[in-house]
Structure formats: C-alpha cells, structure tokens
Chains A and B, each alone.
Chain A
Amino acid sequence: MKFFAYLFAGLLIGIFVVSILLPTKEKPLYSDDELRRAALSRDMQTTPKTYEELLKLVDTKQNRLSKAKIELGKDLYFDKILSKSKDISCATCHLISKDQKDKKIYIDALSAKTNNKTDCIICHLSDQSGVDRFEVAVGDAGRENPFHLNTLTTLNAGLAKYQTWDGSVKTIEEQVGNSIKAKDQMNLSASKAEQRVKADDAYVKKFTLAFKDKKVSFENIQKAIGAYLKTLITRSDYDRFLDGDNGAMSKSAKKGLANFLNFGCKGCHTGVTVGGQSIQKFPLRDYNSIIDVTNSFNETQKGREVSHFNFNAKIYHPFPFENKGGFMGKDGDRLFRVPMLRNVTKTSPYFHNGAVKKLRRAVFLMAKHQLGMNLSDKQIDDIVEFLKALEGDIVDYKVIDKADL
C-alpha cells in the first residue's frame, strides 16, 4: 500500500512537471525580441514619436520647419485657389480632414444641411488615407492623368527619398510645385498662383510671419506646403511593436513580418516608410516567353499562373496586369520608385495604373515577379496581416518653434 501511495504521488508530480515542461503553444521561428532586432538591424525603423525626433529626419537647410510655416502650409493644402478653376485643393485628391481631432466628420457629413462634398468623400474621408482611391488621378476640370497613373498618398511622403511613380522628383517641395503646375493636376502657373495668394491679405500676413524674406513667392508656397506635408506622419501597431510592445502585433502579423524579412521584400520596401527609398525595376522577372506549368496540377493555385494573363498566346505584356495608359516608368525602362507600404491597406487600387484591386493579389504578384516565389495562401495571409499592422493614424505632433526647443 505504501509503495502504491508513493508511486501515485510521484506519478502525479511527474504529470505536472511534464505539463509545465511541454510547450503548449506553437513555437515561433523567432522570439519577439529576436524578430524586433532582426527588423531594426535591417533598416526598418519607426516613425518619430515626438516633434523633436521628426525634425531630425525632415528638417532641411533649404526649408526650416516652423509653426507659422506649417500652419500656412496647412491652409494652402486645403485651399481651392491653387487650382485653375478653383474647384479642387490638394486635399481633394490627397484626402484627409483638416481637423484630425474631429472624429465626427462622417456623421456630420451625413446630416449636414448643405452638402459640399462629393458622394465618395462622405464615406472615404474618415479613411484619412491621403489618396482618393481612384484608379486614375483626376485633376482640375476633370482632366484625367494621361498615363492612367493613380494618386499617391501624401502621408509619410515627406520621409521618402524619391517622389512620384517613377521617382524622378527628389524633394517634396519640388513635387508640390509640379503638382500645382501640371496640366492634369492643379493646372495653375507659378505667377498665377502668386497673384491669387497675394490678393488675400490674410495670406500675405502669414507669409511675412513664416518666411525670412517675407515674400509671397511660388517658391515659398512650395516650401510652406512641403513643411506641412512633412508633419503628416502615421504611426501604427508595427511602430508600437518595434518600440518594444510585444502585444501590439498579432501572431500572424509577426509571422508576416518574419516572412517579409526572410523572403526579401524588405530588400526594397525598407526604411522608415517601408518603401519609397529606392528606384527598382518592375517586373524583375519576365515570364513572357515562359510556359508556366508549375500549377497545372495544383487546383488551389489555379487562375494565378502567368498563363492566366495570356502571356504566351498573345502579344508581349510588360506587366502582369493590363497595361492601361502605357506608362513604362523612368526612362521607359520599367523603373519605378518602390511604393511605401505604410497605410497600404487604405490605398487600393494597386500598382501605378490601379489595375490590381485587391491587396492579396498585389502581394502574390510582387512575390512572383520580384522574388520568383509562389507564395502559399498561408504565407499571403500572414503578410497581409503584417500589412494591416502598418495601418495607422496621423500623429498629432506638438509643433514647437526651434527657439523654444
């Protein structure tokens, strides 16, 4: 009996010890800390938390940030006088609301007595995405982009090294000028823009406050709007994870981040903006003369093989989607600025001509044509979860002038 009792007690303790030692959860490839270290060591960074940190990243000699300048830029961003027919402002296509603290914009827009918003904006303004979600950008007087290019987001654009789809523009101030002058965008000449702003005494006053030369010049308009754009930075779950909060991202998103690093996505989509830092060729792999049979026996991957685009039967396709608009990138060489992936979930449709509507498909195509990988459903799931974790709100920086810092 005594033996039996001991045996049993020992057995019981044994069971408990084993149960403690046995792993109950699926063991991740990396621990959270390892994953974070891996990401940070590969030049993935968080967006600045405070205005001071922001200044370190975006303040340049040519365009010093100041409170007055940012406020002025904000006013100009939302002012329709900068378009030829005074119908659109920057914010018409780069959709955000002026007062970020106002959480009732949607409800107010629905119940407003007078409606000055178009139907799309009513629902999509609350996205705060900095884009219009259109396939092709529409400018002054309804003119569409001749290359069928869609609007790029202004959010985080101040942190990118290159601007626009082909990356031909280096600074955001330059791009502001281009957008105002372009025929298919705001369509307003530099002198006209100066004239219109000068006619408004309130603006003249603000310009004298914001600039040393106190002049209303086109260059200063560019600088002011540029300064404002540099404060449009988003922070997301991903940033909170990199800052050390292990609970900020889901398990699947972490796995997605690991895949993102391992597969090589981060090779181009890197830096603080997760993209926007280099110009690369797309598509890197040309499947035009290849008969792809890899998926012939795999029912779940059906419809995804290259032959789906009729590459082999029909004429040469430069892209793995319809070549609407015929844009061929920088120097006509299919060179594109790597798009920023922050807020990518809010900026569909995808690719330069908006031909791909769904994020999952975009992920699949990128892996196939840039990495030469056929991702499984599960791998796409995880990467999409990671991309969801990149979605964030605009940070409300406390803007302080440098003298006060």
Chain B
Amino acid sequence: MKNINMKIYIILMFLSGVLQFSIFGLSWQYFRMVQAVHILSSSFVAIFLLLPYVNMHIYQYMIVKKAKSTSGVILGLLLFFIVASGFYLFLVGNRGSDIFGIYSYYIHLYGSFVLLFFLFLHAKKKVSNITKPILSTVLLLSISYPAVSYGKNVEKLTNIQLEEGVDRYHNEDWTSSVKCKSCHTKIFNQWADSNHRHLTGTNPYYMVMENLAAADKGDEFRQWCMGCHNPSAVTTKQKRSTHNMNSNNMPNFLFQSGAKELIGEFKTHGNSRLEQGVSCVACHRITKVDSKGNSSYSLDLTNRKKYVFEDSSSDIANFLSEKFINSNPLVHKQSYSKELYKKSSYCASCHDEFLPEPSKREIVSTFKEWEQSPFNNPNDPKKHKTCIDCHMTYLKDNKHSALKGTSTTGGAIKEDIKVHYFTGSNHFLSGLKSKEHEDQSIQLLRTSAKLDVEIKKGKVIVGVKNVGAGHHLPTGVSDFRELWLDITIKDKNSKVVFSSGKLKKDGNLDTDARPFMKVFADENSKPVGLFFWRYKKLLSDTRIPAGKRRVESFKIKNYKDLNYPLSIEVRLNFRIYPQWITDIVSRAYPQLPSPPVITIQTIKKRIAK
C-alpha cells in the first residue's frame, strides 16, 4: 500500500466528516446522505485499510528500521483517539446523557483538524516556512467555531416532535374526530364520553390547574400540561387551553354525552375550528414514541395517505371519499393503525410525567411501575399484560371479557374489540355523561384489590393486596387520589366501639384515616397541595405496588372491656378527587357536583372472642 493512497483516504474521510459541521448548515437531505456515507465508508476504511496499514508502517519503521519520529508517535496516538471516538459515536452515540458521547463528539470533530496538521508534519521531512502559518491559521479557525452537541441536557416543557420540515400545524391539519364518526360510530361514542376526550376545555379540574400553573410559574409553563392534555393547541402554537362559549354562557359540557358540542361545531365550522384535547388523530397519527414521558411522542399529520376528497368540506365529496375508503380500506387502515399502539411504551409517552427541570423528579410513573410489575412478562405471553389488556378491554360482571363485534360499521367481526372507554379510576367525570362509562370504571376498580382483616392484641390489622393493577394502587396523580380504609367495629349490643376513615361534615376525609397515596413537599418539607410542580421532597409514599400486600394496624381503645362477639366491617373506599380540591374547582365551575365515594371491596367478620 502506498503512503499517498492512505493520505487520500484520510483526507476524504476528513472532508466528508467536516461537511457535517454545523457551520455549513448543510440541508437535511444532503446531510443525512453525507453522514451515512462518512460513517459507513470510514468504518470500512478504518478496519480494512487504515489499521492494517498503520500496523505495517509502525512495524516497518519503528521495529525493523528503529526510526525515531515524534510526529509519527503523536500521529499514531491521535489516529487511535479519532478512530475510537468515531466508533463510539457510531455504535453508542452522543445522546446527551453520558459524558463519553460528548467527549467523543468534540475529540472527533476538533481532533481531526489536529490530526491533519500532524499528518502533514509527518509526511514532510522539513516543514517549510509557509506551511506553518497556513496550518496554524487553519487550526485557529477551527477552534474558534463553537460546535453543537446533539444532546444538550436541557429539559423541554413538551417533547412532541413533528415530521421533517414542519414546525407547526394549522387547524385544518387536525382532522376533526367527528369525521371518523360516520364509519366508526361505536368507537367514536365510546371515546366521546371518555376521559381522553375530556382532558382540556371540558374538564373543570384541568382548566383550574392549568391556570394555576400559569399563575404560579408563568404562561409558558402551560405547555408542560398541554403537551399531553392538548396536543393540537401545542402544535398550532396556541398559548393556552380555552373553553367554548355559547353566546355569553359556557356550554353545559359536564353532563352532555356523545360530544354533541363538538359535532355541532364541526357542522357549522367544518375543519377550520381546532378541536382541543386528545382527538382521534392525536393518538392514531403518532409515529414514534420515547417512553421517557412528558409528551415524548412524534406526530405526523401531513404525510398521511389520503383518498380523493378526504379533506373536502362539501357533503357530496365527503360521501364519495368515504366510498373510496370503503372500497379498498387497506391504506386507510395502515395510515391510522400501527403495531406500536399495542405496546405499553406507547402509553408511557404521556402516562409518565416528571418535572421539566434537570432533577426530573417523577410526578407520575405508571409505566415504570408497570415495567417492574409481574404484569410485564414478555417471556410468558400468558402472564404478560399490557396497558390495553386492562384499560381497553370490555368488562362484564366485574371481569375482563373480550367484546366480540365490529369496530367499523359493517366491518369484520373481531374476537376482542379494543374499546375506547379508556377505563381508569376516573369514573366521575365520564360518569356524569354516561352510565356505561361509569359502570366500566367501577368494575375495573373492583378488580384491583383484596382485603383481609383480623384482631390481634387489641389491634385491628387490615391487609390490602393489589391483585388486579399492573401498577401501584393508586397510580397516576396519586397525590390527588383518595384510597383509604373505612373501618367500623360494633360490639354485642351493636354499639360502635371503633371507627376510622369516616368523612367529616364538610365532606373531607377525617384526619384519622390513612389514605394510600404519596405526599409531595417543598424544600421546607411543607406539603405542596395543589402546586405539585413545587415538589422537592417526598414526604411519604404509602401506595401499594402491583402484587404486593400492605398492612395497616389500628389500636382499639379499652379493648379489654369489650362485649364480645364483635362484628367488623372494613371497606376499601376510593374517591377520585378529595373534597377540598372539588371545593376549589367549583369556585370557578359552580355547576360541578362532588364526586361520590366508591367502595371497592368490603369485608365483614364476626369475632367470638
């Protein structure tokens, strides 16, 4: 191998590498090609040509001929670092979290200039007076440019990514969910009263909280909430979530089922009015997710394959486009349904939530809880249960039982329709609109836990086992949920001798109750209350992990003087929002009723002695 060939190779590698330097601002379509060519060809050259050559060269000159060359040694060392950092960047990458990636990036970039300098120094026996200044200018120039690292450790408020070449959407890009209704009627109606539909302007709790976050942390902070609650508003660059008005009144959306408001709006304004909240395409046009949370998903609304007239506002054209789809629906199906949607990591992009600051303190970590639970068992498909196996499967008689039927009007019969009730613990807001939704949620809640109780040495000992949930009980915003034990013990004469976990007159939970929850506190260990973004310290975490049992024991006063037999009744109660929060929210939304207490499990026991 000739020396000159090697030099040409190195220079070619250098040129293809330096073209990717951010100062050139190479347009993406060229960049991606240059990058691929640089990485692949350099790997090939390094492994098959450069390394064997260097090996030979060192052997020939340093061992056989015993030549001494400082520039040669430095060159060799530099070459080692450049190649090593190059392979690190290729195989591991500069993803921002590990310091090696960032070092590799800078070594590879700046080191290559230094390498070139020594390459010439090494090639020339004598360095002419002209070359020196030229090369030092080049070195100086190269150092004076700041480089961009591709993974800066700054937490963004939202992590939504749009497709290439698009920096925002317009209202028309967000196809209204009402368009889906004509063919997917059942699914539309399930979604219409579900909690996914009512995440924004129609959810009093959310609206109060978003405004509170803005009042506390500034308007910009709303984007943190909106990333998951209101993707359409974020991507159309709206500053805040808004609610509809009907002349001077707020429409009565709390008790309105079937998204009538939305349907009416679509009729009068077509697709030009933005649908806020989580609409059909908000989930069904997600192309990629990162399970880290805080809206870490990628959307692609503009590269959809659309049938002729699909976007038209005229009735006839609309009718035609539906016929076109129905005649050969494969492309339509591929556009809106992906294998990804069945995975738990898909849900994680929003159902995990952390503070948008370097500490990344976890607020909601439902996905991480699931990952560590026995429900995550990919090796045993029978035991492996993903999010949709519980939350998008129909419930009958307090059990999950797959619903057989069609998801499209006139579609193929499926054994297990993935229902879009998005059943979760929030039976309340969806329940105000539809009894069916409430019923599904309560059934799901009842599958979650089992109780056991005994009396020992003057103590009531209650065990609660999380048997049904693939995550902690409660999960989600578990600082705002109430799950507690309501205990009553009566003696022989039906006199109450012990009670715990009752409601006070004002509706708040009595202080003797021990709710299963986590409590966030600020830096002074003061509970943060509604301001959960001020979370600095975790005061307590009494939630019950999946498959685990938690024991609470309560002392009975004067247990020696009791009149046996005793009858014990223990209820595991759940309330979606504490009364004090509802009190606050109903200031702004006076029509809001108070959420009821749901009994998940009851256990009764008689103790003779």
Question: By the criterion CB–CB under 8 Å, are A377 and B590 in contact?
Answer: no
Question: By the criterion CB–CB under 8 Å, are A123 and B207 in contact?
Answer: yes
A403 adjacent to chain B (CB < 8 Å): no
Question: By the criterion CB–CB under 8 Å, are B212 and A106 in contact?
Answer: yes
- Collect the chain B residues with CB atoms within 8 Å of residue A300's CB: 172, 311
Question: By the criterion CB–CB under 8 Å, are A107 and B134 in contact?
Answer: no
* CB within 8 Å of B: which A141-162 residues: 144
Question: By the criterion CB–CB under 8 Å, are B215 and A5 in contact?
Answer: no
Q: How far is the CA of A332 from the CA of B165 in the complex (A)?
A: 49
Encode contact with B along A350-363: 1 for CB under 8 Å, 0 otherwise: 00000001101100
Which of B57-65, B266-274, B322-330 is found at the contact surface with chain A? B266-274
Encode contact with A along B246-286: 1 for CB under 8 Å, 0 otherwise: 01101000000000000000000111110000000000000
Tell me whether A136 and B269 are in contact in the complex, defined as CB-CB below 8 angstroms, given that A16-B141, A119-B587 are known contacts. no
A103 adjacent to chain B (CB < 8 Å): yes
CB distance from B172 to the nearest CB of A (A): 6
Task: Pick the residue among B123, B170, B311 that contacts A1 (CB under 8 A).
Answer: B123
A101 adjacent to chain B (CB < 8 Å): no
CB distance from A303 to the nearest CB of B (A): 4
- Collect the chain B residues with CB atoms within 8 Å of residue A299's CB: 311-312
Q: How far is the CA of A109 from the CA of B586 in the complex (A)?
A: 12
Question: By the criterion CB–CB under 8 Å, are B272 and A361 in contact?
Answer: yes
Task: Pick the residue among B124, B171, B208, B272 that contacts A5 (CB under 8 A).
Answer: B124
Question: By the criterion CB–CB under 8 Å, are B313 and A119 in contact?
Answer: no
Encode contact with A along B117-153: 1 for CB under 8 Å, 0 otherwise: 0001001100010110011011001100000000000
B183 adjacent to chain A (CB < 8 Å): no
Question: By the criterion CB–CB under 8 Å, are A19 and B248 in contact?
Answer: no
CB distance from A155 to the nearest CB of B (A): 18
Tell me whether A377 and B170 are in contact in the complex, defined as CB-CB below 8 angstroms, given that A303-B271, A349-B245 are known contacts. yes
- Collect the chain A residues with CB atoms within 8 Å of residue B269's CB: 303
Q: How far is the CA of A275 from the CA of B457 in the complex (A)?
A: 81
Question: By the criterion CB–CB under 8 Å, are B587 and A135 in contact?
Answer: no
Question: By the criterion CB–CB under 8 Å, are A135 and B215 in contact?
Answer: no
B358 adjacent to chain A (CB < 8 Å): no
Question: By the criterion CB–CB under 8 Å, are A13 and B311 in contact?
Answer: no
Tell me whether A106 and B272 are in contact in the complex, defined as CB-CB below 8 angstroms, given that A19-B23, A122-B588 are known contacts. no
Tell me whether A119 and B135 are in contact in the complex, defined as CB-CB below 8 angstroms, given that A302-B311, A304-B272 are known contacts. no
Question: By the criterion CB–CB under 8 Å, are A123 and B588 in contact?
Answer: yes
- Collect the chain A residues with CB atoms within 8 Å of residue B123's CB: 1, 5
- Collect the chain B residues with CB atoms within 8 Å of residue A136's CB: 247-248
Q: How far is the CA of A306 from the CA of B109 in the complex (A)?
A: 57
- Collect the chain A residues with CB atoms within 8 Å of residue B212's CB: 106-107, 110
Tell me whether A135 and B273 are in contact in the complex, defined as CB-CB below 8 angstroms, given that A24-B23, A360-B171 are known contacts. no
Question: By the criterion CB–CB under 8 Å, are B248 and A135 in contact?
Answer: yes
B190 adjacent to chain A (CB < 8 Å): no
B338 adjacent to chain A (CB < 8 Å): no
Task: Pick the residue among A15, A144, A302, A381 that contacts B270 (CB under 8 A).
Answer: A302
Question: By the criterion CB–CB under 8 Å, are B313 and A5 in contact?
Answer: no
- Collect the chain A residues with CB atoms within 8 Å of residue B247's CB: 135-136
B11 adjacent to chain A (CB < 8 Å): yes
B454 adjacent to chain A (CB < 8 Å): no
Instruction: Return the chain B residue nearest A354 by Cβ.
Output: B247
Question: By the criterion CB–CB under 8 Å, are B587 and A122 in contact?
Answer: yes
* CB within 8 Å of A: which B305-321 residues: 311-314
- Collect the chain A residues with CB atoms within 8 Å of residue B130's CB: 6
CB distance from A327 to the nearest CB of B (A): 16
Question: By the criterion CB–CB under 8 Å, are A16 and B215 in contact?
Answer: no
* CB within 8 Å of B: which A1-43 residues: 1-2, 4-6, 8-10, 12-13, 15-16, 19, 22, 24
Interface residues on B, range: 35 or more
- Collect the chain A residues with CB atoms within 8 Å of residue B589's CB: 119
Q: How far is the CA of A8 from the CA of B135 in the complex (A)?
A: 10
B435 adjacent to chain A (CB < 8 Å): no
- Collect the chain A residues with CB atoms within 8 Å of residue B211's CB: 106, 123, 126
- Collect the chain B residues with CB atoms within 8 Å of residue A106's CB: 211-212, 215
Question: By the criterion CB–CB under 8 Å, are B587 and A357 in contact?
Answer: no
* CB within 8 Å of A: which B333-358 residues: none
Question: By the criterion CB–CB under 8 Å, are B313 and A302 in contact?
Answer: yes
A188 adjacent to chain B (CB < 8 Å): no
Question: By the criterion CB–CB under 8 Å, are B587 and A13 in contact?
Answer: no
Q: How far is the CA of A184 from the CA of B250 in the complex (A)?
A: 22
Q: How far is the CA of A22 from the CA of B22 in the complex (A)?
A: 13
A134 adjacent to chain B (CB < 8 Å): yes
Q: How far is the CA of A13 from the CA of B55 in the complex (A)?
A: 32
Encode contact with A along B167-184: 1 for CB under 8 Å, 0 otherwise: 010111000000000000
CB distance from A217 to the nearest CB of B (A): 35
CB distance from A7 to the nearest CB of B (A): 10
Residue of B131, B168, B207, B247 with most chain A CB atoms under a 10 A cut-off: B247
Q: How far is the CA of A12 from the CA of B137 in the complex (A)?
A: 10
A138 adjacent to chain B (CB < 8 Å): yes
A69 adjacent to chain B (CB < 8 Å): no
A115 adjacent to chain B (CB < 8 Å): yes
- Collect the chain B residues with CB atoms within 8 Å of residue A289's CB: none
B467 adjacent to chain A (CB < 8 Å): no
A111 adjacent to chain B (CB < 8 Å): yes
Task: Pick the residue among A6, A122, A134, A345 that contacts B248 (CB under 8 A).
Answer: A134
Question: By the criterion CB–CB under 8 Å, are A303 and B272 in contact?
Answer: yes
Q: How far is the CA of A358 from the CA of B269 in the complex (A)?
A: 11
CB distance from A326 to the nearest CB of B (A): 16
Task: Pick the residue among A10, A110, A302, A357 that contacts B584 (CB under 8 A).
Answer: A110
A269 adjacent to chain B (CB < 8 Å): no
CB distance from B261 to the nearest CB of A (A): 13
Q: How far is the CA of A88 from the CA of B361 in the complex (A)?
A: 46
Tell me whether A9 and B248 are in contact in the complex, defined as CB-CB below 8 angstroms, given that A299-B312, A300-B172, A388-B239 are known contacts. no
B216 adjacent to chain A (CB < 8 Å): yes
- Collect the chain A residues with CB atoms within 8 Å of residue B207's CB: 123
- Collect the chain B residues with CB atoms within 8 Å of residue A303's CB: 269-272, 313
B497 adjacent to chain A (CB < 8 Å): no
- Collect the chain B residues with CB atoms within 8 Å of residue A16's CB: 138, 141-142
Question: By the criterion CB–CB under 8 Å, are A126 and B215 in contact?
Answer: yes
Q: How far is the CA of A126 from the CA of B211 in the complex (A)?
A: 9
* CB within 8 Å of A: which B75-131 residues: 116, 120, 123-124, 128, 130-131
CB distance from B266 to the nearest CB of A (A): 11
Task: Pick the residue among A13, A111, A123, A302 that contacts B137 (CB under 8 A).
Answer: A13
Chain A interfacial positions (CB closer than 8 Å to B): 1-2, 4-6, 8-10, 12-13, 15-16, 19, 22, 24, 103-104, 106-107, 109-112, 115, 119-120, 122-123, 126, 133-136, 138, 144, 299-300, 302-304, 345, 349, 357-358, 360-361, 377, 381, 385, 388
A-B contact pairs, 16 of them (CB 8 A): A1-B124, A5-B123, A16-B142, A24-B23, A104-B215, A106-B212, A110-B212, A110-B584, A112-B587, A119-B590, A123-B207, A123-B208, A135-B245, A299-B312, A381-B170, A381-B237
The 5 closest A-B pairs by CB, nearest first: A303-B270, A106-B215, A9-B134, A122-B588, A303-B313
